[in-house]
Amino acid sequence: MALLSSCNNRGVDKYDALSNSFDSLFNSLYKDGQPGAAVLLVEGDSIIYDKGFGIADLNTKVPIDGNTFFNIASVSKQFSAVALMILSEEGKLNLDDPVKKWFPDFKADFYSRITLKHLLSHSSGIPDARDRSDRDFVLYSKDEESYSYLKTLDKLNFEPGTSYEYMNPTFQLMYSIVEKASGENFEKFMKERIFDPAAMNTTLYFEDGRSIPGMAHGYILDSTGGFLEYDYGEESFFATKADGGIYTSTHEFLKWEKALRNNILISESMKNDAHSPHNVIDPLKGEYYGYGWFISKREGYPDKIYHTGDNGGFQIYAARYPSKNILLLIFANRNDKDREQTAEKCDSILKSYNFL
Whether residue 316 is contained in a domain is answered as yes
Whether residue 11 is contained in a domain is answered as yes
Q: Distance (Å, rounded) from C-alpha 143 to C-alpha 175?
A: 7
Whether residue 96 is contained in a domain is answered as no
Helix (H, G, I), strand (E, B) or coil at 194: helix
Contact 19, 59 (CB under 8 A): no
- CB contact set of 285 (below 8 Å; sequence gap of 6+): 298
- Which of 275, 258, 207 lies closest to 71 in space, CA to CA? 207
Whether residue 257 is contained in a domain is answered as yes
9-54 pLDDT tens trace: 444 689 999 999 999 999 999 999 999 999 999 999 999 999 999 9
Q: Give residue 3's pLDDT.
A: 44
Number of domains forming the structure of the chain: 1
Whether residue 76 is contained in a domain is answered as no
157-216 pLDDT tens trace: 999 999 999 999 999 999 999 999 999 999 999 999 999 999 999 999 999 999 999 999
Number of neighbouring beta carbons within 10 Å of residue 184: 15
Q: Give residue 8's pLDDT.
A: 44
CA distances from 95 to 69, 76, 122, 274 (A): 32, 19, 14, 11
65-110 pLDDT tens trace: 999 999 999 999 999 999 999 999 999 999 999 999 999 999 999 9
Give φ, ψ of 124 to 5 degrees. -75, -30
250-296 pLDDT tens trace: 999 999 999 999 999 999 999 999 999 999 999 999 999 999 999 99
What is the pTM (predicted TM-score) of this model? Answer: 0.95
Whether residue 98 is contained in a domain is answered as no
Whether residue 23 is contained in a domain is answered as yes
Q: Give residue 12's pLDDT.
A: 60
Let me know how long the chain is.
356
Q: Distance (Å, rounded) from C-alpha 176 to C-alpha 184?
A: 10
Q: How far is C-alpha 347 from the chain's CA centre?
A: 19
Domain range enclosing 329: 5-70+215-231+246-272+289-352
Q: Distance (Å, rounded) from C-alpha 195 to C-alpha 259?
A: 10
Q: How far is C-alpha 192 from the chain's CA centre?
A: 20
Whether residue 181 is contained in a domain is answered as no
pLDDT category, 150, cuts 50, 70, 90?
very high
CATH number at residue 59: 3.40.710.10
CA distances from 84 to 90, 96, 203, 351 (A): 10, 11, 19, 35
The answer on pLDDT for 2 being more than 50 is: no
The answer on pLDDT for 153 being more than 60 is: yes
